Copies of this chain bind each other. A is one copy, B any other.
Amino acid sequence: MKIIVIMAGGAGERFWPLSRFTHPKQLLTLTGSGQSLLEEAVERSMALVPPANIYIATSLHLQKAIQDADLGIPAENVIAEPCKRNTAGCLIYAAATVLARTNLSPEEVTMGVLTADQRIPDTAPFVETIGAALESAENNNALITIGIQPVRPETGYGYIEIAENATPVANPSGRSLFRVASFREKPKPEDAAKYIASGRFLWNSGMFFWRLSSFQNEFGKANPVMAETLEDLTDALMAKDQDRAAKIFDALPNISIDYALMEKATNVMVIPGNFIWDDVGAWDALCRTFPTDNKGNIRIGDPLLIDCVDSIVYNAPGQKKMAVAVAGLKDMVVVVNDDAVLVIPKDRAQDVRKIVTALRDRGATQL
């Protein structure tokens, strides 16, 4: 059986003030399509597996908001980890949940992992590639990833390195797989430029495909304690012992799937993705998702711009409409919500996290 797990547990703090603790980035309409990122991700998945086989893995405090968003999958498929344990914990919990519910063996379940913060404007080539990845994973013991052909020396993404002179491995899906030589964290600008020049580096899309038996085996070699956790957790969930499950889960380290598994695993393959892909990570990403005027500005919600260039001005319609007027801006982001205002240079968009932390420290938790 093929299933898809969409990871949607992040806070998306960098999209403050639109993203909030109980209304995260995934539920925002940030791509210009009118749909939320999560809606889009579910819709794409429906072209690959039946709705009952689509799971959304999220946090407890977001579970209800996502269920209420009515995305066309069973409400019980919106699963929430008992506590936050990063992407490694998230995927172990999702795998255990599926195994416990379906009563299938790990050999029988092939899991595709997608994320909820991607912009993929063309669905057809995406679906073709993900379909090939799922099929390859079903017929292969490897952990399979999708690597996106880079279109700029982005320093905000991780990279996947294909070995020099790597020979593509043919497989039944018709798409070639390449053995992964290494994963690289977000690089410095000079390294990013080298990666692009080499032609052997792809963007790490954060999408993974594996049979659960491969997942378990590779974890057994890379991180035996976590492989055991997966088995114990499956047992606890089959026994419907939520307390024990929570206790087992709580003991997991708070580390990413890249760090816990992918970087250490020996059998990792990548399929180059031939579709447009964008990680909608922070406000500056909107420059790549929304149409701009002839001065490079993005205007959302009818703000007034005078003599501005390359700026993003977002006036979210709230209960009470604010008039937003800006002049003489260059490379700035201005976001106005129903109860908050953000002003930040585009190249500091990552620092919105600092703002959220500072507001939290002030005790403004409703924000």
Residues of A within 8 A of B (CB): 16-17, 304, 306-307, 315, 320-329, 332, 334, 336, 339-345, 348, 351-352, 354-355, 358-359, 362, 364, 367
Contacts and interface: CB of A to CB of B under 8 A. Distances in A.
A306 B16 CA distance: 15
B326 A340 contact: no
Nearest to A358: B304
Contact of A354 (B17, B321, B327, B332): B327
A324 B358 CA distance: 12
A304 B351 contact: no
Contacts of A352: 327
B339 A351 contact: no
A174 to B, nearest CB: 48
Given A320-B320, A322-B339, A339-B320, A327 B344 contact: yes
A323 B364 contact: yes
Contacts of A332: 343
A332 B359 CA distance: 21
Q: Which 6 A/B pairs are nearest by Cβ-Cβ distance? A: A328-B348, A323-B340, A326-B343, A325-B355, A324-B341, A327-B344
24 contacts: A16-B325, A304-B362, A306-B351, A307-B351, A315-B341, A320-B320, A322-B339, A322-B341, A323-B339, A323-B340, A325-B341, A325-B359, A326-B342, A326-B344, A327-B348, A327-B351, A327-B354, A327-B355, A328-B348, A328-B351, A332-B343, A334-B341, A334-B343, A336-B341
This protein's copies in its complex: 2
A355 B359 CA distance: 31
A168 to B, nearest CB: 45
Contacts of A336: 341
Contacts of A307: 348, 351
Contacts of A304: 355, 358-359, 362
Contact of A329 (B341, B343, B358): B343
Nearest to A346: B328
Contact of A323 (B306, B320, B323, B341): B341
B325 A358 contact: yes
A240 to B, nearest CB: 43
A344 B330 CA distance: 10
Contacts of A362: 304
Contacts of A327: 343-344, 348, 351-352, 354-355
